[in-house]
């Protein structure tokens, strides 16, 4: 027996305090059952919708499976679990021990009818966190809701559960390693099937992510499994690791973990043994530290590097926004310095960069920074990491991809951006993740403190949201009363600089950044 809206509303009203003026939404029919959310003053929110079966037990390290049909009306009024992680990157996300985490949220502007004939543009948000942490729960999409855009935010598997080689695979030439990417694709498929029931346009979907979410955007752009699932893309601070890792790299990590957990025998036995281990055993520092951000060429989700895919014209979009922040590295310097409880020294500097870049560290990064007492190694680390991990790779990517698609380049440069992580010995400036507070209302990470935007920053926020919203709607960020944002071309390199004194078009040059050739 299906509960009526009235009886459901009665039950819900009894479960909340009288101080909340929430009402239940109309029931929405989806491919896996009926869903009911919460109607607020200016939006309708559907939170904690399962888009795949829980990847637990025998489903650990398997491709996501479509959620079975729900028997009753599903109440989607609460945020769901964050995917398992013990990493929070200085307050970026909450820790969690849950593998049951494949949920998404749909936020619908109040003035968008739930009639299928009403088709609002859709923003699909992929959270960042180094593919090791992060969740949809930390982002308030109100600014985009105010622009008439439906926003979908998702969780996907992380670290040892999301980017792991399962030794028991049938096809030895291909593997399910990028499981977190496959989760994103499963969520995109769900959106394509169901978003019109919420009033959205399945033919006008823009994927957007920051940091590892930005790299996830690139992975989806070049993955054959993402074809026809979206039309446009926005990547923030995500143009790194373009060469990607390979199956052999993933196999070595699995072998190391199997030895640590005493899992021996043939592939089937090792896989079964690893699947039997509790979640917590994969979240210990000696295991979780084996996973760093970056996707694998697994011959399933990705067949070649991003650069090779550009060269061979294998990509899934025709227009894109791609950019970086001026002081990307200071965020990571903050994570390290706060962990150490002191300023970085030469050994910290070399060790941290070597952990990121391996054999290329000495060649490309450490130049004339020998041990001495005059060098500020926290500042040196911040500058080198920002340049070589984010800024230079973004310029290189834009140089190549702008030959193939309409590409709009930006640099976020507000050096007074509000901080949600603890202060350190250097100024954070326009740090990695610093722009999120300008695009998502009251963003503060998971554990950070909220610093409101000042009036000039609030104006910059409105400007950025207007550009983003125009692009999400039409594929062109330009609009009335906005500085004209011309496309990036290899010979002109037009880049829009976002500062509190307004947006300004500049010519970005890799030579100005001393980028390696």
Residues tagged active-site? 211, 328
User: What tokens appear for 174 in the block?
Assistant: 């291909």
CB atoms within 10 A of CB 7: 10
Neighbours of 222 (CB within 10 A): 25
Q: Note the residue count of the chain.
A: 517
Those residues with Cβ within 8 angstroms of residue 462's Cβ, 6 or more apart along the chain or in another chain: none
Are 236 and 435 in contact by the 8 Å Cβ rule? The answer is yes
Please state, in angstroms and rounded to a whole number, the distance separating the CA atoms of residues 392 and 130: 19
Cβ-proximal residues to 474 (8 Å cutoff; 6+ apart), any chain: none
DSSP letter for 266, please: S
Whole-angstrom distance, CA of residue 164 vs CA of residue 99: 14
**Listed residue (479, 477, 487) closest to 508, CA to CA:** 487
Q: Name residue, tokens 């729960």.
A: 137
Question: Which residues are paired to 200 by β-bridges?
Answer: 120
Cα–Cα separations (whole angstroms), residue 9 to 4, 26, 37, 106, 386: 8, 11, 11, 20, 51
Phi, psi of 63 (to 5 degrees): -60, 145
Residue whose tokens read 């043939």: 266
Q: How many CA atoms lie within 13 A of 143 on its CB side?
A: 24
Distance CA 333, CA 322 (A): 24
* Nearest by Cα to 74 from 28, 107, 20, 21: 28
Tokens of 179: 């499981």
Pairing of strands 120-126, 200-210: parallel
Cross-strand bridge partners of residue 124: 152, 207
385 closest CA partner among 348, 410, 422: 348
Please give, one letter per residue, the 3-state secondary structure of 238-257: CCCCCCCEEHHHHHHHHHHH
Give the list of residues 6+ apart from residue 289 with CB closer than 8 angstroms, or none: none
């Amino acid at each position: 027996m299906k509960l009526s809206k009235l009886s459901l509303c009665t039950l819900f009203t009894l479960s909340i305090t009288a101080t909340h003026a929430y009402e239940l939404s109309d029931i929405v029919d989806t491919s896996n059952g009926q869903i009911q959310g919460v109607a607020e003053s200016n939006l309708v929110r559907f939170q904690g919708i399962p888009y795949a079966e829980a990847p637990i037990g025998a489903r650990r390290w398997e491709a996501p499976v479509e959620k079975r049909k729900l028997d009753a009306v599903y109440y989607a009024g609460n945020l769901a679990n964050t995917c398992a992680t013990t990493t929070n990157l200085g307050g970026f996300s909450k820790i969690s021990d849950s593998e049951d985490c494949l949920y998404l949220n749909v936020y619908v502007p109040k003035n968008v009818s739930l009639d299928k004939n009403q088709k609002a543009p859709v923003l699909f948000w992929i959270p960042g966190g180094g593919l090791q942490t992060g969740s949809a729960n930390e982002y308030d999409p109100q600014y985009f809701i105010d622009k008439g855009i439906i926003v979908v935010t998702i969780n996907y598997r992380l670290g040892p559960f999301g980017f792991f080689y399962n030794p028991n695979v049938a096809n030895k030439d291909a593997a399910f390693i990028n499981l977190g990417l496959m989760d994103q694709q499963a969520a995109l498929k769900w959106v394509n099937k169901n978003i019109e029931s919420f009033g959205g346009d399945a033919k006008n979907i823009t994927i957007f992510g920051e940091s590892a979410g930005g790299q996830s955007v690139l992975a989806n752009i070049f993955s054959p499994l993402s074809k026809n699932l979206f039309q446009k893309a926005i990547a923030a601070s995500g143009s790194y690791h373009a060469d990607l890792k390979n199956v052999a790299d993933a196999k070595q990590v699995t072998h190391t973990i199997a030895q640590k957990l005493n899992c021996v025998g043939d592939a089937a036995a090792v896989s079964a043994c690893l699947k039997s281990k509790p979640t917590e055993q994969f979240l210990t520092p000696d295991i979780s530290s084996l996973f760093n951000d970056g996707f694998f060429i697994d011959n399933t989700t990705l067949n070649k590097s991003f650069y090779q895919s550009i060269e061979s014209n294998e990509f899934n979009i025709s227009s894109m926004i791609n950019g970086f922040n001026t002081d990307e590295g200071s965020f990571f310097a903050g994570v390290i310095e706060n962990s150490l409880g002191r300023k970085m020294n030469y050994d910290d500097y070399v060790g941290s960069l070597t952990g990121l870049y391996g054999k290329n560290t000495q060649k490309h990064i450490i130049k004339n920074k020998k041990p001495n007492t005059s060098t500020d190694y926290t500042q040196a680390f911040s500058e080198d990491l920002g340049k070589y991990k984010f800024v230079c790779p973004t310029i290189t990517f834009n140089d190549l991809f702008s030959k193939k698609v309409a590409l709009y380049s930006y640099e976020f440069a507000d050096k007074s951006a509000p901080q949600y992580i603890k202060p350190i010995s250097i100024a954070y400036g326009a740090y990695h993740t610093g722009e999120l507070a300008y695009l998502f209302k009251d963003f503060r990470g998971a554990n950070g403190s909220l610093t409101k935007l000042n009036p000039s920053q609030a104006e910059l926020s409105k400007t950025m949201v207007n550009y983003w919203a125009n692009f999400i709607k039409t594929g062109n960020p330009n609009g009335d009363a906005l500085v004209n944002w011309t496309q990036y071309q290899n010979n002109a390199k037009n880049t829009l600089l976002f500062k509190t004194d307004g947006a300004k078009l500049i010519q970005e040059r890799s030579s100005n950044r001393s980028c390696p050739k």
